[in-house]
Amino acid sequence: MKIWMTGLSCLVLLAACRKEVTTQILTGPNGTLDKQAVGRSAHDLLSADTYTSLSLSIQYAPGMKPLDQSINNLVNFLNTYLHKPVGITYTETATASLGKDPASTADITSYEDRNRQVYSDGNTLSVYLFLADAGYEQPDVIGLSFRNTSIVLFEKTIQSRSGGLNQASRITVETGTLEHEMGHLLGLVNTGSSMITPHEDSTHKGHCSNNKCLMYYTIETSGLMNPFGNAAPALDQDCINDLRANGGK
């Protein structure tokens, strides 16, 4: 049994969090490639060396379907940085309730193990996105990248904190969270895509030191939860340079 260190990275409303936990790599006919540490598939996601297409498998718990525009924004983001000549596609499927609120990381990984249907295969890389009908055990956390091809959005928390009077739009929050967590799968910052210029936040590992960047550890001050902001932040040049150097475009 091989033990990998899995870096967990998450986007938070008010505070940062990034944890290190140990998890075992799961063996079996399906999924072995997809059950590694965050960032390990950065090059495979960015380049077309092995995988020429990307398939997003989106599952949402009852009432947690993401807005179409949020998914369109994510696909546009991916088309901007990933070499996938055969294309980037997605499927959306309604799934069962997580059945626990708040949820722990173990609850989320267990849910994925029971419900994920699509794994990377042949020349198609698969990424799993789950929109949970729950918050995280740390209540300010709204998203988490927890394996090399796995992301959860704590959509219940997102819906309760967006779209209302004096709240940011739900599209902005969903889009920013999806893109930030995807940035971690792409190896940002310094977790699978090497830095061309040093820009990792020394106190919030895995994040960018630029407070205007999508990969800043908390982007509350640059618009994600700002009722006056109308778009999620973009990647800054340092982050883009790292992606390009690791096979991205």
Assess 16 for contact with Zn ion (CB under 5 A): no
Rounded to a whole number of angstroms, the minimum distance from the CB of residue 235 to Zn ion is 6
Which residue from 111, 236, 242, 246 is in contact with Zn ion, where contact means CB under 5 A? Answer: 236
Rounded to a whole number of angstroms, the minimum distance from the CB of residue 184 to Zn ion is 6
CA dist., res. 71 & res. 77, Å (int): 10
For 150, the token pair is: 């796995």
Is the separation of the CB atoms in 177 and 219 below 8 Å? Answer: no
Nearer to Zn ion, 17 or 26 (CB): 17
Q: Is 27 helix (H, G, I), strand (E, B) or coil?
A: coil
Assess 151 for contact with Zn ion (CB under 5 A): no
Rounded to a whole number of angstroms, the minimum distance from the CB of residue 22 to Zn ion is 20
Assess 232 for contact with Zn ion (CB under 5 A): no
Assess 225 for contact with Zn ion (CB under 5 A): no
Pattern of binders to Zn ion over 182-211, x per CB under 5 A?
A: --------------------------x-x-
Rounded to a whole number of angstroms, the minimum distance from the CB of residue 203 to Zn ion is 13
Query: Backbone dihedral region of 100: left (phi > 0), alpha (psi from -120 to 50 degrees) or beta?
Result: beta
Assess 243 for contact with Zn ion (CB under 5 A): no
Terminal-to-terminal C-alpha distance of the chain = 36
Q: Taking Cα atoms as reference points, which of 130, 147, 145 lies closest to residue 32?
A: 147
Assess 239 for contact with Zn ion (CB under 5 A): yes
By beta-carbon distance, which residue lies closest to Zn ion? 208
For 32, the token pair is: 């072995």
CA dist., res. 101 & res. 81, Å (int): 35
Rounded to a whole number of angstroms, the minimum distance from the CB of residue 6 to Zn ion is 14
CA dist., res. 175 & res. 7, Å (int): 22
* Phi and psi angles of residue 200, each rounded to the nearest 5 degrees, phi first: -80, 135
Interaction site with Zn ion (CB under 5 A): 9, 11, 208, 210, 213, 215, 236, 238-239
